[in-house]
Amino acid sequence: GSIGVPIWGVEVKLIEPDWSEIEGVDTVGEIAIRGHNIMKGYYKRPEATAACMRDGWFRTGDLGRRDADGAYYIVDRSKDMIIRGGFNVYPREVEELMITHPAVSLVAVVGIPDREYGEEIKAFVIRAAGTTISERELIDWTRERIAAYKYPRRIE
């Protein structure tokens, strides 16, 4: 769901890795915030401050999107994003789909090193009590419901 619109005194924008601003709606970027209540930097850590602060803007590490009404939605953490063959895959999106399967009790999706694609998608699944779905069946079920580059190729 939405995290809402910025409160008074706080500015929010979506940025690319190079700090350029992302315009438009429903385009994913890193959330950056600026305001009187935002930190000025890390104590005695200028390198860490330089990595996340610029002109008072703080990179949150959260990936989000903005809708037409100006409300923001968190999509995932930037450090969690999987880049598979040049495509960005948000683990949370895959997890939110897989958890809807009745045989899945808990799921965590991660990227693992892959020679061909850079990263491959792997899901760690705890099956619901009394269920016997195979890894292949769960991969096929997921593949039918999500973009071809997003479904996990491996399940453990």
Domain 81-155 has CATH 3.40.50.2300: no
The structure's pTM equals 0.73
Which helix (H) or strand (E) element contains residue 12?
strand 10-15
| 74-124 residue pLDDT tens | 998 888 889 999 999 999 999 999 999 999 999 999 999 999 999 999 999
Q: Specify the residue for token string 């009187």.
A: 36
Short-list 12, 11, 10, 7, CA closest to 65: 12
| Chain region(s) in the chain for CATH 3.30.300.30 | 81-155
CATH T-level topology, domain 2-75: Luciferase; domain 3 (2.30.38)
Q: What is the CA radius of gyration of the chain?
A: 18
